[in-house]
Amino acid sequence: MKIQWEYERKFLVNPAALPALPRGVRIEQAYLGFEPVVRVRLEGERGVLTVKGPGLRARREVNLSIPAEAARALIELRVEGTTVIRKTRHLVLHGGHVWEVDVFAEPFRGLVTAEVELRTPDETPELPPWVGQEVTDHPRFQNAALARTGRIPPPPPEPKE
């Protein structure tokens, strides 16, 4: 079991600007609840049950390793009407941080995001040239929101200078 504070930022990615990605791990995840967020995930053949507290940039998170068979069964018990998220996660080192680049499968094909976990909430990572607009503060880009809607949200308005 792992209990921690999670500090992260999330960005849309310009796939055409990405370098060749290292081999990734296939992820399948579904949601068992939304307040708090309760997620079950298969990462390759590893099962993980996660409970996340409220927040976008910083929140409490509890991760429990579970058998893959249990994760598969729990995915089937997801909240009715929600979509199973399928994606491939690639870990890319840039500027001293590991960036999690997620390439989504149907029905989210075309969506590519990158998240970076920070050591402190006020840390400012060096941004790779392939990241685009930041969506950290736009809840509709959280995976839980994608699972609820079953579609890619429109991009947020560009920030005013």
Give catalytic residue positions. Answer: 31
With contact defined as beta carbons under 8 Å apart, do 49 and 74 qualify? yes
The secondary element (H helix, E strand) that includes residue 137 is none
Q: Which of 34, 41, 94, 89 is nearest to 68 (CA)?
A: 41
Task: Please tell me the distance from the alpha carbon of residue 93 to that of residue 95, in angstroms, as a whole number.
Answer: 7
With contact defined as beta carbons under 8 Å apart, do 58 and 117 qualify? no
